[in-house]
Amino acid sequence: MPEAEYSAALRQAVDRARPILRIRELRPGQAEVIESVLRGRDTLAIMPTGSGKSLTYQLPALALPGPTLVVSPLLALIEDQVGKLKAAGVAVARIDSTRTAKERAADLDGVREGRIKLILITPESVCTPAVQEILAGVRFSLFCVDEAHCVSQWGHDFRPSYLGLRRAAEVLGRPPILGLTATATPAIAEDVAVQLGMKDVYTCRVSFHRPNLAFDVRKVGGEADKLRVLGKLIQRLRRPGIVYCATVRAVDELYVALRHGKIPVERYNGKMTTDEREKAQASFMSAGRKVVMIATNAFGLGVDKPDIRYIIHYQMPGSPESYVQEAGRAGRDGKPARCVLLFQPDDIAIQEHFLKEAHPTKTQARAVAEGLYAWSDEGKEVSVRDLALSMALPERRVRVVLSVLEAMGVAVEVKAARWAGVEPRPTREQIDKAASVFEARRISDRRRLAELLKYMNTQNCRVQMLRAYFGEESGGKCGLCDSCAGLDSEVFDPGEDDARHGLHAATDFHGRAHRRRRRGEKPAPVPRPALTFPTAIPDLPGLAVPPPWVPPPERDGMVDQSIWQDAPAAGAPAAGEIVLAPGEAEAFLAEVASSETSADEPAPDFAASWAAIRDANIRPYVEWVVPPPLSLPVASSAPGGEGRPQQNRQNPNGQGGNNSDGGRRRHRRSRHGRNRHARDGGDRRGPRLPGVYNPGGD
């Protein structure tokens, strides 16, 4: 929307927030979303990563009369946003598990008193009865849900903790709702609106594609080939970058391998401690650090680093939504960036395993229903945690089953996270019928996986295919993906196809000149001379140019008639044969022998030399170089020594003792300074004999 078309309310809000949030101009989609929010309309914004979704609730928070509540699923995102807003002078508070009870009470009092305009809170905290009771009397102007696709039961990243947000919004007075997500198909967008209870929704969709991203798929034959391609990518592409893996094991293995390769690397996965994850993320986010992050999909939400030069998927994700969301974290500064997906058929089995374990089964649904009514028969309400412990099931699955039972009308959330059964209780057949939704979700996930496989196997423009998947107009070809640019199997060959769009020169780490510059000095552009090749091969000096070869005319008369003549008689010279006089042959051979070899230098063994050269090209050096055989005399056993080796009391120099230093034994010491022979039991294994193989020595 051009600035001339801004409404009076939007123009006033932008002018007020410009000095605080340092706004230069609104990006595509921001003006439409903010305009809808200022009008008090429920809004769903589908904007890709890096398009400025945070401004769509920060700017209205400064313009609207009441406070704004923002639900965010990631602590790192909350911490990052709070730090930036406090630095800008905005009164902001955070409510999550990292805050103490005293700090949370002080922030909640500030919200009730009107001193705080913006609150960032986790979905678990906003659903607790204590927080809802304190905030119940506050007149909120906006209820914002970040990562709104997590509320969709058909989404790729469904989280049961989001299912309580609809009730939380009603407890807080049902203010206008703003849903933010990076990726959502039309079906998921519709489900998000239903789950959040949005009415008269204004949906704003911004294309996920940015013209500086080059999508690329590399098919490899196996794990060894994949490691080779990954190593080449990491060595050549400019850093910083992110390598996404589907499993924690792959993250740890690649982390160790890159550490041994002397590459600055960090890792991030869900099994690390909170301190380890925060330290790794802080190291990666530091300005100017050129680090490679090896991580699972747990890393990335809220990572606002503009200079990420590449995103490599070492193992395929589970859906196009996940892939686009993770790949979109590269190149936020508008400079060229690569999004490479490495694929081998074995990666499909990993995602198949995740699909199998993602959703509850009918048996688990029956168990949760029976457990819920067992507590209700005793007149008690049960929490999700207690019910999960009694059923020996994960809390996530129990929460999902309870949401389905609530939709059936046989379960009710009496308070936040406390449930009770409703009479009449359902039959087993009714529960099985309701649990069939889990099978439908599994089928939906499998379809998304099939769409991602179709994306990897396509020969057409990859961006056009992703646009069609997300319900956008296909538009023209991107011109940067491997299908459009015609890149070959080696991504770093600077051929004509790669140099045609300048992507190689912009992303190749070794393609630029490195020069140390002083502090504050701007890097000067380094001119790159164009490569020119001669159109003709020049004549070599001192050599005459041979005349061009002219093939003889093909006719029957050109046949050499001599081949049909009879064989020469015995002793007669053949045609073209050189005949030497008696004695000339011996002299000729002697002269050749004297010119090639001498008496002191034997004739070279060509067969052995050729075998060595041939083997050197097909085997590593350490395999074809054979060390000379080692043979040392074995020390004899002393009489009556029960097999103990006899000590050599006379060294080769005629001096006493068993060492060459005049009888003084030099003890080998360990790292802690203790005598190794004493640690091993004295001279039990015998001394070290110089020049003699001692089977009992060290």
Give the 3-state DSSP-derived string for 640-670, with helices as H, strands as E and coil as C.
Answer: CCCCCECCCCECCCCCECCCCCCCCCCCCEC
The half-sphere exposure of 395 on its side-chain side, counting CA atoms within 13 A, is: 11
Residue 222: its H or E element = none
Three-state secondary-structure class, residue 56: helix
pLDDT (0 to 100) of residue 525 = 59
What is the total residue count of the chain? 698
| 3-state helix/strand/coil string of 537-573 | CCCCCCCCCCCCCCCCCCCHHHCCHHHHCCCCCCCCC
Q: In what order do the strands lie in the sheet with 382-383?
A: 382-383, 418-421, 411-415
Please give the sequence-ordered ranges of beta strands (E in DSSP) within 222-336, or none if there are none.
Answer: 241-244, 265-268, 292-295, 310-313
Tens of pLDDT along 577-625? 555 555 655 665 565 555 444 445 455 555 555 455 445 444 444 444 4
Indicate the DSSP class of residue 51: S
Q: For strand 418-421 and strand 382-383, is the pairing parallel, antiparallel, or unpaired? A: antiparallel
pLDDT (0 to 100) of residue 254 = 92
Both tokens assigned to 674: 């203790």
Per the listing, tokens 């699955």 go with 397
The half-sphere exposure of 506 on its side-chain side, counting CA atoms within 13 A, is: 19
Query: pTM for the whole thing?
Result: 0.62
Short-list 287, 286, 311, CA closest to 299: 311
Is the Cα dihedral 345, 150, 410, 425 positive or negative?
Answer: positive
Three-state secondary-structure class, residue 358: helix
Q: Give the integer Cα–Cα distance in Å for 495 and 686.
A: 66
Both tokens assigned to 15: 């002018």
Q: At what angle do helices 55-63 and 30-38 cross, to 10 degrees?
A: 40
Both tokens assigned to 220: 């490899």
All residue ranges of the chain with pLDDT < 50 are 488-514, 528-546, 555-561, 563-564, 575-576, 595-599, 601, 610, 613-614, 616-625, 636-667, 670-698
Q: What are the backbone dihedrals phi and psi of residue 413, each rounded to the nearest 5 degrees, phi first?
A: -90, 95
pLDDT (0 to 100) of residue 120 = 92
Q: For strand 92-95 and strand 118-121, is the pairing parallel, antiparallel, or unpaired? A: parallel
pLDDT (0 to 100) of residue 201 = 92
Rg (CA), the chain: 38
Q: Give the integer Cα–Cα distance in Å for 194 and 151.
A: 10
Angle of CA points 336, 339, 345, to nearest 5°: 160
Q: How far is CA 339 from the centre of its chain?
A: 10
Per the listing, tokens 């230098």 go with 601
Whether residue 7 contacts residue 35, with contact meaning beta carbons closer than 8 Å, is answered with: yes
Amino acid at 26: L
Short-list 74, 40, 63, 62, CA closest to 177: 40
Whether residue 129 contacts residue 137, with contact meaning beta carbons closer than 8 Å, is answered with: no
Three-state secondary-structure class, residue 45: strand
Q: What are the backbone dihedrals phi and psi of residue 420, each rounded to the nearest 5 degrees, phi first?
A: -150, 150
CA distances from 452 to 246, 355, 487, 526 (A): 15, 14, 21, 41
SS3 breakdown of the chain: % helix, strand, coil, rounded to 5?
40, 10, 45
Whether residue 273 contacts residue 245, with contact meaning beta carbons closer than 8 Å, is answered with: no
Q: Which residues pair with 340 in a beta bridge?
A: 216, 312
Q: Give the integer Cα–Cα distance in Å for 296 and 244.
A: 5
On the 0-12 / 13-18 / 19+ scale of CB atoms within 10 A, 358 is middle
List the domains of the chain with CATH numbers.
3-205 (3.40.50.300), 213-350+460-507 (3.40.50.300), 359-426 (1.10.10.10)
CA distances from 106 to 94, 95, 101, 102, 211 (A): 11, 10, 9, 6, 46
pLDDT (0 to 100) of residue 511 = 41
